[in-house]
Chain A
Amino acid sequence: MDFHLTKEQEMVRKMYREFAETEVKPLAEELDEEERFPMETVEKMGKLGMMGIYFPKEYGGAGGDVLSYAMCVEELSKVCGTTGVVVSAHTSLCCAPIFENGTEEQKQKYLPDLCSGKKIGAFGLTEPGAGTDASGQQTTAVKNENGDYVLNGSKCFITNGNVASTFVVFAMTNKALGNHGISAFIVEKDFPGFSTGKHEKKMGIRGSSTCDLIFEDCIVPKENLLGKEGDGFKIAMKTLDGGRIGIASQALGLGEGAIDEAIKYTQERVQFKKRLSQFQNTQFQLADMHTRMQAAQYLVYAAAMKKQNHEPYSMDAAMAKLFAAEAASDVTRRAVQLFGGYGYTREYPVERMMRDAKITEIYEGTSEVQRMVIANHLGVK
């Protein structure tokens, strides 16, 4: 495998880093403290092409590649996990399924505004009774006399829910068929019968919007069916494969960001007349932390490259997310420990990174689900 980045990828990483340091880092603490969505950052990212990185220019995308998208989420998450997941959920869970499964009309209609950041995207699969078991969908879509669909039910824990204009939503069109009876729809926030619930108060990524989606006789025009009737479960699983690259990148960035902070701090903090960085425990901890994140980076980049090259990448994405998320949780926790009491306070960013990292082990498939996916690919049944 070639681990060399292209000149464009090196350059784009430099741009993300500059942008993250200048525009994102100064807001991170405030977004967390006030549970505020970074709308101003989304606008700036939209102008720079960061909301549609790997989609073709004909649909308003930036014409980049999947690895450049992963690096974007990584660099943003180094300084702000909230901003990282905004881009990840928007790109992987809304733009991607429309691009990969949409008709030409659907792509032309929805992608340009999404890729420019003018509109934010979200994804509605999870329900109160259908989390890890996504097949237990209770939301129904029934055809009316015009051939349009009437949706009833609710979704929960929807990232970007309160700020999105475009949603990819899943609902049962034929309960008797089980997974094969699930269909996918593109729902606009102004469709009659659609509303969002209250903002969930979370442990981490507190600036990110998370809420319920409520469908009460919500009319979705027939031309907004995404893929064919019954394709929904397949579309959801394929979408989550891609989403896992985004969340793995978020975890990767969080871990790396915590290491950056820990290196800086341990070189300044003096105890027993020595800088913390002079103690072997600190050196060994940081060496282990860096090694784990470096391994995570290889897995994440490999999965991104495979998706870019249209190779099967489902297991790679699952391994990348499993490993990066668990590494990020471990590394951010260790970073807090290196900071000691100061690390536990909100004066330093590592406690925020630790809180942010935990969700990467849970959303878009828990670590346990990733293990199921990997074992399944190994043929272990």
Chain B
Amino acid sequence: MKIIVCVKQVPDTSGKVAVNPDGTLNRASMAAITNPDDLNAVEAALTLKEQTGAEVIIVSMGPPPAEGMLREILARGADRAVLVSAREFGGSDTYATSQILAAAIEKIGIEKDTVVFCGRQAIDGDTAQVGPQIAEKLGLPQVSYAADIQKDGDTLTVKRMLEDGYMTIKVKTPCLVTCIKELNNPRYMSVSGIFECYSKPYEIFDYNTLKDNPLIDATTIGLKGSPTNILTSFTPPQKGAGMMLEGADKETCDKLAGLLAAKHII
């Protein structure tokens, strides 16, 4: 069994966020981390590996320094890593990225029982588009926002979290699942994993590796192949501090009802 996990290196937005004059993120000045939801996807894959003995392959598109992130995931227990990296792929939006990643996944090979895991969304763009688009390009069934995954033979039963509840979906492999943080707690790297990670298989897929795939077309990859245009980006105005009312007495309840009525909420 082959499990493929898509991961992305992103700027750490928990610290200071730097923005270029054109509104894009100034990635160079921010620390790079593994996208948090992608670590949940990695954990899902490693859990499945423990249950089934599957091979876990991680794939990322990015510049060569993304190797550090991939090695760290190998240190968590993944078996091999693929970095998709070429000048031709630079500037890709989610549409172009999913084309390229889909081609890379085809190159790795999808078997009957393959599961592709992605994080729900990356903290830099917050689009949640790449996972679903990869599934579309590969013609795989997909379940997004997975908060629980159970495997039984060739069927995954996935709890799909929505804002107001959840759906339980059964899906047959091969399939693609996007993962949310409620799914699991990502494990730490282990000491032995760290001392092994630089001897695990690590490959780079460049333009030449993938160019024969029909998905790799000059009009659908890189900046030129990206239909997304950023019109403007701005820092949203800060929300004012909320109001807290404490107590269960009649006076507090009346006050609350009055405030809600004044805002036409009730």
Pair A7/B198 contact, Cβ less than 8 Å: yes
Pair A63/B188 contact, Cβ less than 8 Å: no
A11 CB within 8 Å of chain B: yes
CB distance from B266 to the nearest CB of A (A): 41
A12 CB within 8 Å of chain B: yes
Within 8 A of A (CB), among B174-217: 188-198
B75 CB within 8 Å of chain A: yes
Within 8 A of A (CB), among B108-142: none
Pair B190/A62 contact, Cβ less than 8 Å: yes
Q: A11-B71, A11-B72, A11-B75 are contacts. A62–B195 as well, Cβ < 8 Å?
A: yes
Pair B188/A12 contact, Cβ less than 8 Å: no
Pair B191/A15 contact, Cβ less than 8 Å: yes
Pair A63/B72 contact, Cβ less than 8 Å: no
- Give the distance in Å from the alpha carbon of A287 to the alpha carbon of B193 in the complex: 37
B188's partner among A8, A15, A53, A64 (CB-CB below 8 A) is A15
Pair A47/B190 contact, Cβ less than 8 Å: yes
Pair B195/A8 contact, Cβ less than 8 Å: yes
B190 — which chain A residues lie within 8 A by C-beta? 15, 47-49, 62
A33 CB within 8 Å of chain B: no
Q: A11-B71, A63-B196 are contacts. A19–B188 as well, Cβ < 8 Å?
A: yes
Interface centre among B188, B194, B196, B197 (most CB of A within 10 A): B194
Pair B192/A8 contact, Cβ less than 8 Å: no
Pair A48/B71 contact, Cβ less than 8 Å: no
Closest to B76 in A: A15
Pair A11/B192 contact, Cβ less than 8 Å: no
Pair B198/A49 contact, Cβ less than 8 Å: no
A68 CB within 8 Å of chain B: yes
Within 8 A of B (CB), among A2-20: 7-8, 11-12, 14-15, 18-19
Identify whether the interface residues of A are mostly helix, strand, loop, or mixed: helix
Closest to A51 in B: B191
CB distance from B102 to the nearest CB of A (A): 30
User: What number of A residues sit within 8 Å (CB to CB) of B?
Assistant: 20
Pair A11/B188 contact, Cβ less than 8 Å: no
Closest to B67 in A: A7
Pair B198/A64 contact, Cβ less than 8 Å: no
Q: A7-B198, A8-B198, A11-B197 are contacts. A49–B71 as well, Cβ < 8 Å?
A: no
- Give the distance in Å from the alpha carbon of A24 to the alpha carbon of B198 in the complex: 28
CB distance from B146 to the nearest CB of A (A): 24
- Give the distance in Å from the alpha carbon of A97 to the alpha carbon of B68 in the complex: 36
A48 — which chain B residues lie within 8 A by C-beta? 188-191
Pair B191/A53 contact, Cβ less than 8 Å: yes
Pair B191/A68 contact, Cβ less than 8 Å: yes
CB distance from B40 to the nearest CB of A (A): 16
Interface string of A64-80 (1 = CB under 8 A from B): 10001000100000000
A11 — which chain B residues lie within 8 A by C-beta? 71-72, 75, 189, 194, 197
Pair B195/A64 contact, Cβ less than 8 Å: yes
A31 — which chain B residues lie within 8 A by C-beta? none
- Give the distance in Å from the alpha carbon of A72 to the alpha carbon of B196 in the complex: 18
A50 CB within 8 Å of chain B: yes
- Give the distance in Å from the alpha carbon of A49 to the alpha carbon of B193 in the complex: 9
A18 — which chain B residues lie within 8 A by C-beta? 188
Pair B192/A12 contact, Cβ less than 8 Å: no
Interface string of A45-65 (1 = CB under 8 A from B): 001111001000100011110
- Give the distance in Å from the alpha carbon of A47 to the alpha carbon of B188 in the complex: 10
A8 — which chain B residues lie within 8 A by C-beta? 194-195, 197-198
B197 — which chain A residues lie within 8 A by C-beta? 8, 11
- Give the distance in Å from the alpha carbon of A72 to the alpha carbon of B194 in the complex: 13
Pair B188/A49 contact, Cβ less than 8 Å: no
Pair A15/B195 contact, Cβ less than 8 Å: no
A50 — which chain B residues lie within 8 A by C-beta? 191
Interface centre among B191, B192, B194, B197 (most CB of A within 10 A): B191
B189 — which chain A residues lie within 8 A by C-beta? 11-12, 14-15, 48
Closest to A15 in B: B189
Pair B191/A64 contact, Cβ less than 8 Å: yes
Pair B194/A15 contact, Cβ less than 8 Å: yes
Closest to A10 in B: B68
Residues of chain A having any CB pair with chain B under 8 Å:
7-8, 11-12, 14-15, 18-19, 47-50, 53, 57, 61-64, 68, 72
| Contact sample, A vs B, 27 pairs, CB 8 Å cutoff | A7-B68, A7-B71, A11-B71, A11-B189, A11-B194, A12-B191, A12-B195, A14-B72, A15-B75, A15-B189, A15-B190, A15-B194, A18-B188, A47-B190, A48-B188, A49-B190, A53-B191, A61-B192, A62-B190, A62-B191, A63-B191, A63-B192, A63-B196, A64-B191, A64-B194, A68-B191, A68-B195
Nearest 6 CB-CB pairs, A to B? A49-B191, A62-B191, A62-B192, A15-B189, A49-B192, A12-B194
